[in-house]
Structure 1
Amino acid sequence: MLIDVHAHLFTAGMLNRHPFWGPAMKVQGLTVGHFSLGTKQRKTAANDQEAEANLLARMTHAARRELMAQRGVDHLVLSTPSHAFMYWAEDFGNTYARICNDELSAYCAQDPAHFSFWCHANLADPQEAAREIRRAVTLLGARGVCVGGANFKGLQAHDEALFPVWEVLAGLDVPIMVHGYNQSIWLGEKHHEDRFETSSIVGDCVDETLFFWYLICGGALDTFPTLKTYITHAGGMAVFQLGRLAELNKAMAPDTRNRRPLLDYLPNFWFDLDVHTPALRRGVVDVVGVDQLLYGTNFGGAYDNGDPTRDLGLDEAQREKIRSGNARRLLKLDVI
């Protein structure tokens, strides 16, 4: 069996919910506030209505199942696209989280054999985020929460203001999925100053690394030792710089609050193999181990690198842990 835990979804009900923030699919790309997601791809729509229709056509159950069949995927775990996290949108950020969770839950309920979801929560408002996570998990069936890696409107993962969120997640025994998001949306009308889409293409990996570093250094895993986190894109840069982080946490970070060596917290983290060469994937396997790896590919996104568990020298039992066994255990997907 193959479970892909990294796939995003827009429904019609998740679009055009706010006169400014949207989010909206337009000819120039996904638009949130002043920001539009740039692309070098040829324009495929004559107007905004056609652009939205094209997007939603790719999001139907039938279209998703067809692509899943082509790629051998049996089950997808869906999440709100990261550009629409709305941490900067004041009260609408809370409203949009509830909208997303209702929409994701309804979508998955139509075909639970093939779809589950990560809920969304507005971490810029930790108390409300904690309440919404509890609602989404206990009433709507969410398997965990998907969050951006850094800068929840000024809050970072080390901030004790976020402890109510970590407390709810630990109490419910559901994991965090960390996916960086485009920080240039914060720039408003100056978002074009983010040259080359850097805050998304490079910044996602920076965000994900910061979450790993800040969650440990801020002492959250000492206060909530059962808290579990899955970091996309092979952990950003955390795995590749793990030795540096571990050594300098002791030698050069006097304000850190972690009570144990940094490497002792690795069992709290899961990663995927969403890097672009087998050599790098083998390195992640060697450092992390097969028991802490998930199958996540940004399914249906901007690229497709095939099965990331191939050509790594893994036996079938090891591959199956990554392809489904670890996700079943972490997300409690045993019913599938």
Structure 2
Amino acid sequence: MTETTARRPTLRDVAQRAGVSTMTVSRVLNGGENVRPALRRKVEAAAAALNYRRNENARSIRPGQRSGLVGVIITNISNPYYARVMSGVEGVIGRSGRRILVGISHSDLDLEKELLRDMIGRQIEGLIVVPSDNESVHLAPEKLGIPVSIASRPLAGVEADTVMVDDVGGALAGVGRVLDAGYRRVAFVGAGASVSTSARRFEGFQLAHERAGVRVCDELVRRDATDSASAEAIVRQLLALPEPPDAYFAATNRMTVGALRVLVPAAGENPPPLVSFDDFDLAELMPYPLVVVDHDAPALGRASAQMLLRRLDGAETGPYIKVTLPAVIRRTSLPSLESDGTTPG
């Protein structure tokens, strides 16, 4: 095996095989017309023999040439919710003739910055991002010099096109449903204030209590959940209280899954219902009292991508746009209770 075939062939390898300059090879492979037919055939034959493929990334970073790349940074690809968001993004960006460069931040601010530096180095034309937390001020378009579309988690102090979900209204509706049914000790299982979606969902949780005239049980508010495993541990702790919750609110679908790992095996005659913000796989088959608040995740991805493309294509040059998608109760299996004013249990 020769050195040329043992590694990825270069433009210089093609030029040497064809007996021409690298400039001639570049002109032929880029569709230039000012090349004699005989030379063109020699270059094409050499490229085919070496199985040469153009380095699109190298082409994309030539001064003045657009890369055709859109960067997308999300927090967790293992969450089906973000897979649905990505499907919406991909459909819109793909139809524009551009390609997607995806990075996963795992809600790690330092990793998010590293991914961003790498994408900027690859000359992305624009960025769609689910911020890792409220400290992601480096995502501001004026800092990056490219259009930015913020998805799902708006950033305080950062002006950019933003697509968010009605987290407050969704939590208000879901928690309000169990409070209206007579439940009074409702636990909150979510992330801290640094995650804007969780902060807004906690706001809705509080507002539901206020409207129902019910005091929030501070000892049942846990805002240190980060994933399914931590939510599972928190619910175990809550169940072990002398007076455990009579209902639960999980701020994300992954936290719902962790909560159900504890609640389903422990379910007695009157299990405490669970309000889940975001749908999850097989929710409709779950033999447990649920209230599921959901929204159209692919629509969020599509809206984020459409807003970015309007900036890239010059169709939108005005002030930054903020869009809020509705969150509604998709399904409920909350038991019907006697309206005698007593707390179920």
User: TM-score scaled to structure 2, two decimals?
Assistant: 0.28
Bigger share in strand: 2
User: TM-score scaled to structure 1, two decimals?
Assistant: 0.29
Larger radius of gyration, structure 1 or 2? 2
